Amino acid sequence: MKKNFNRFLVLLFICVSFLDAQMLSRTKVGMGTFITLSLEEKNKNSIEEGFSIMKDVELALSSYDITAQIYKLNHNKKTDINQYTYEALSLSKKYYEQTDGYFDITVGSITEDLYRFGANQRVPHAKELEDAHVNFKGLFFNKREASLDENIKVDLGGMGKGFGVDKVAEYFKSKNITKAVIAASGDIRCLDACHIDVQNPHAENYLASFDTLNKETGVSTSGNYQRYVESTENNHLINPKQKKPAQNFSSITLISHMPSSDLDAYATAASVMPKEKTYIFLESMPIAYIILESDTKLIVSKNINEFVKNLKIY
């Protein structure tokens, strides 16, 4: 039976609206979540191509669709790859190196084989986690093909939606579109100013809200309340060094002019780092952040006003 990448849907971390209401929005299911593309009416003919690009990214990076290249890589240990897959794997290598190994897509041996987030999900035994094979050096690839050592699996969920958002943004800009919003769950890219509401993981209200500046801006939120089994103690954010779910942060929102794939990956890595290392890492980047620690302490970066205006903390 064909496994479906959309066998579960990721809940939205962020709500987005527009400072100018004259925008046309369309929403479809893709990449395990709801994808919303918003453009001015005059550019409406580009919306379907935007969704098509997101579908192409999904068919390259999905761990669940049996026709996808990453699915084939995980199950056959070798496969031909296209440009999207090569770019995503190359970026993943960069993120692995930049984060001192805290962004490691080979946690797939835990997320795919042990927790099985989605259908047939379960809580693995401590010994199973201890014995899981997590080793980025077990992944090999070039522009044409990729292969894995035995017992290694990859999961690109920590950067895939951001990567897809970037590809749609690149297409829109190639069409001289200067006003658009691409939203895929917690990964948002505004080509012009937009309004962002960040969900409070512990209540039905918002944690924060703000307006982005009149400049292309990415926003990415990662949280342990998104996907988990039984409780957030068994969440999808796996510390690759300890081989178990991270517990230090409930929510990390990053805002920057950097690519969304970068922000997606950095939010993932920051979520699983030791607390002190998280702040040192983020302070080394041109990034603003809003962080809710697991004890409900809220931390807002000192440089937040360089990236947003009208910030409200609820």
User: Does residue 22 carry a pLDDT above 50?
Assistant: yes
Is 115 part of a structural domain of the chain? Answer: yes
Residue whose C-alpha is closest to residue 218's, from 174, 178, 181, 273: 181
CATH number where 179 lies: 3.10.520.10
Is 1 part of a structural domain of the chain? Answer: no
User: Does residue 181 carry a pLDDT above 70?
Assistant: yes
Is 6 part of a structural domain of the chain? Answer: no
Report pLDDT for 132: 87
Query: To which H or E segment does residue 88 belong?
Result: helix 83-98
User: Does residue 79 carry a pLDDT above 80?
Assistant: yes
Q: Vertex 222, ends 220 and 224: CA angle to 5°?
A: 165
What span, in angstroms and rounded, lies between the C-alpha atoms of 251 and 274? 14
Q: First and final CA of the chain: distance in angstroms?
A: 46
User: Does residue 297 carry a pLDDT above 50?
Assistant: yes
Report pLDDT for 180: 96
Q: What percent of the chain has pLDDT over 70?
A: 87
In this structure, of 100-109, 226-235, 299-308, the range with the lowest mean pLDDT score is 226-235
DSSP 195: E
Is 8 part of a structural domain of the chain? Answer: no
Task: Please give the residue range of the domain that contains residue 307.
Answer: 14-313
User: Does residue 155 carry a pLDDT above 80?
Assistant: yes
Task: Provide the number of structural domains found in the chain.
Answer: 1
What span, in angstroms and rounded, lies between the C-alpha atoms of 32 and 158? 13
Is 3 part of a structural domain of the chain? Answer: no
Report pLDDT for 185: 86
Pair of tokens at residue 87: 């770019």
User: Does residue 6 carry a pLDDT above 60?
Assistant: no
What span, in angstroms and rounded, lies between the C-alpha atoms of 230 and 232? 7
Query: What tens digit of pLDDT does each residue of 128-151 get?
Result: 888 889 999 999 999 999 999 999
What span, in angstroms and rounded, lies between the C-alpha atoms of 124 and 110? 9
Report pLDDT for 140: 98
Query: What tens digit of pLDDT does each residue of 239-289 get?
Result: 899 988 888 999 999 999 999 999 999 999 999 999 999 999 999 999 999
Is 159 part of a structural domain of the chain? Answer: yes
In this structure, of 37-46, 114-123, 271-280, the range with the lowest mean pLDDT score is 114-123
Number of neighbours of residue 13 by Cβ within 10 angstroms: 25
Give the global pTM: 0.91
Contacts of residue 167, Cβ cutoff 8 Å, sequence gap at least 6? 53, 54, 57, 84
Q: What percent of the chain has pLDDT over 90?
A: 72
Report pLDDT for 235: 60
Contacts of residue 87, Cβ cutoff 8 Å, sequence gap at least 6? 163
What span, in angstroms and rounded, lies between the C-alpha atoms of 297 and 278? 15
Report pLDDT for 5: 34
DSSP 97: H
